[in-house]
Amino acid sequence: MSTTERMVTDQAALYEQFMARIERGEKIEATDWMPDEYRMLLLKFIQMHGVSEIMGAYPEKEWVPKAPTLRRKLGIMSKVQDEMGHGQLLLRVAEELGRPLGMNRDTMIEDIFDGRIKFHNVFHMPAPTWADAGVIGWLVDGAAIVSQAALLDTSYAPYARVLKRICAEESFHMQHGESIILSLAEGTKAQRQMLQDAVNRWWESLMFFFGPPEISESARKMMMYRIREKTNEELRQKFLSRYVPRIHSLGLTIPDPELHFDESTGQWHYTQPDWKRFGEIVRKNSGPMSQARIALRRQAHEGQAWVRQAMKRAAEIEAGG
């Protein structure tokens, strides 16, 4: 057997052992052998998750100076800080995966500016009123909890550990948003209308949040590797079951005449969002607020470069450099 043939045989044996571990439900650590395909699927998924957490802070950050009371201001400042922290935790996990490929957190953030990594569709949208800040916390973070809780048993151990903390904090964010929504729902006629307008504005984005109902090749492979176990449609159905009754209980309407629960199939029927338009918003960063928020992220990244350089130099000095 030639050296090349022996290497191919060794790789095949390693892959077989890896898949046996996945099928037994074992967790994979960063130092374990893993197929390149598994590494790349995870890397792209976690990087996008991390970047979305960071970009997700911007719509609510806009409301920090305009929050109606000091208590609300402190609440939303804390939430913005948490979202940035989630992004850093996730990018640290992604950085470890990407190290053999020469990737680090700096390059992962720079990928946003060059359009090499996408971020979630909802964070391309405007938040023109205080009710939008509430809807983001209540429904967008509620949707995020549905998605992230379904990943808690992911096969990649470092991601699962970070998600445990993120899900716990996201539940506080959802409650913060719910508190804003309840105040507005019990408020004046104008406040209730502001709330209804925000729900109307965000509903189609929320349906897009979970992705297309068809299972893509990438999603199929992620399910094969047990990176994820639920389909987009299963997650969307769970979100609808959890939140449609809550929205109606506040006397609010949902801007979808087709939305209803079919008892015979046990499924929600809904109007499909404009997949083409939303796909272009994410792929081309062409949403109403995409470029403005990317510009803010670039400004922050470049403005904080001296902090990163100082920390790097301090680490070198500590190591005797």
Give the pLDDT confidence of 58-103 residue by residue, as tens digits.
998 999 999 999 999 999 999 999 999 999 999 999 999 999 888 9
Contact (CB, 8 A) for 195 and 252: yes
Comparing C-alpha atoms, which of 18, 98, 12 is closest to residue 50?
Answer: 98
pLDDT tens column, 132-171: 999 999 999 999 999 999 999 999 999 999 999 999 999 9
Is residue 320 scored above 90 in pLDDT? Answer: no
The answer, yes or no, to whether residue 318 has pLDDT greater than 90, is: no
State how far the alpha carbon of 282 is from the alpha carbons of 1, 44, 131, 211, in Å.
49, 15, 24, 11
Distance, CA of 97 to CA of 30 (rounded, Å): 7
Residue 234: is it exposed, middle or buried by C-beta count within 10 angstroms (0-12/13-18/19+)?
middle
Where residue 165 falls (left for φ over 0; alpha for ψ -120 to 50; beta otherwise) is: alpha
Q: Tell me the backbone φ, ψ of residue 267, rounded to 5 degrees.
A: -125, 150
**Between residues 316 and 89, the one the model is more confident about:** 89
- pLDDT tens by residue, 226-252: 999 999 999 999 999 999 999 999 999
Nearest to residue 250, comparing CAs of 131, 133, 158?
Answer: 131
pLDDT at 2: 72
Report whether pLDDT(5) > 90.
no
> Are 223 and 151 contacting, i.e. CB atoms less than 8 angstroms apart?
no
- What gap in Å lies between CA 294 and CA 119, rounded to an integer? 10
Q: What percent of the chain has pLDDT over 90?
A: 88
Average confidence (pLDDT) over 248-268 = 97
pLDDT at 321: 66
**Confidence class of residue 312 from pLDDT cuts 50, 70 and 90?**
confident
Give the largest Cα separation in the chain, rounded.
Answer: 81
How does the average pLDDT of the chain come out, rounded? 94
Residue 94, CA distances (Å) to 111, 119, 134, 196 in order: 13, 15, 30, 38
Residue 319 confidence (pLDDT) above 90: no
- Report the SS3 class of residue 262: strand
Structure-block tokens of residue 277: 């338009």
Q: What is the pLDDT of residue 1?
A: 66
